[in-house]
Amino acid sequence: MRVAVLGAGAIGAYVGASLCRAGVDVHLIARGPQLRAIRESGVRVRSPRGDFAAWPHATGDPREVGPVDHVFLGLKANQYASAGNLVRPLLHEKTSIVAAQNGIPWWYFHGVPGEFSGRRIESVDPGGAVSAVLPPDRAIGCVVYAATEVSAPGEIRHLEGTRLSIGEPDGTISRRCTEFAGAMVAGGLKCPVEPELRRDIWIKLMGNLAFNPISALTRATMAGICRHAGTRGLVVRLMEETLRVAAALGVRPDVSIERRLAGAERTGEHKTSTLQDLEKGKPLELGAILAAVVELAELTGVEVPAMRVLNALAGLLGEQVAGA
């Protein structure tokens, strides 16, 4: 099995190193200091579960790799539309694209029956720009529960969790999913194939939608947001609104708001990925996390007043970052 990891950052390099450890033919596509470090010293993983190193092939040019069986996308969702030149050399007729993204994926209404079947979500697939690069029939959804960070070029610090749930948009248990999941498990990760992956998407989104934009607007950590009575109350309202939108689309996440809050508090003084991007001057990945859910609320007629206010503030912040 040949796997290309496009975007060998914190999650991409961690998954690539794990697959390499399982004997998979892995190719990391990276750039800059990260690429140089991996070429010189491989990927070094520091983890409470045990440190390890792996030496996958690394390149900045996907044409050196050629077609593979699976492309693991470690890019942010707001980079997908511009990734065509990187993705195309990696595809053959049956190549799958395992998209490890936060928020609502571009393929959300692909492969499902009902009134919204095949509908495009403009916030994540404007004008079909993402679908043109990443055809939905190639997509395997992926919800990441592992927390990692790049502690130095070529070095990944694994903080917690090893689960990456995957699933077909149409809910089937496909051969390509079980093949990829088997390799992930052989590399030391948890990779359940979920027939109802959208439920996982909404469970994670409950936290991302509330904490990520609030953290960027306030510079507060997860624990800090939970400690402050005002923002804690806002998080609860946002989670309630998120659950109402999910229910309107026929998804009922089997997790309580109290449990999600407790999980956030346990992470302690952790900066969300959006806050980390803000501090680095990078574009904010809030289209799929927040704007898309507001769009889905409009589509289903669900009232989301707190979410609308937050989306307006986050949208202005995103414009300021982009124009800086």
The fourth-level CATH superfamily of domain 2-195 is NAD(P)-binding Rossmann-like Domain (3.40.50.720)
Please tell me the distance from the alpha carbon of residue 124 to that of residue 117, in angstroms, as a whole number.
16
Strands 147-152 and 155-160 turn out to be antiparallel
CA distance 210 to 216: 11
- Exposure of 103 by Cβ count < 10 A (0-12 exposed, 13-18 middle, 19+ buried)? buried
Which H or E run contains 2?
strand 2-6
pLDDT tens digits along 78-91: 999 999 999 999 99
pTM over 0.85: yes
Q: How far apart are alpha carbons 74 and 160 in whole angstroms?
A: 18
CA distance 299 to 267: 34
- pLDDT tens-digit profile of 156-203? 999 889 999 999 999 999 999 999 999 999 999 999 999 999 999 999
Residues involved in catalysis:
204
Handedness of CA 44, 11, 191, 129 (dihedral sign): negative
Fold of the domain spanning 198-323: N-(1-d-carboxylethyl)-l-norvaline Dehydrogenase; domain 2 (1.10.1040)
Beta bridge partners of 148: 158
Beta-carbon contacts of residue 11 (< 8 Å; ≥ 6 apart): 74, 100, 144, 146, 148
Enumerate the domain spans of the chain. 2-195, 198-323
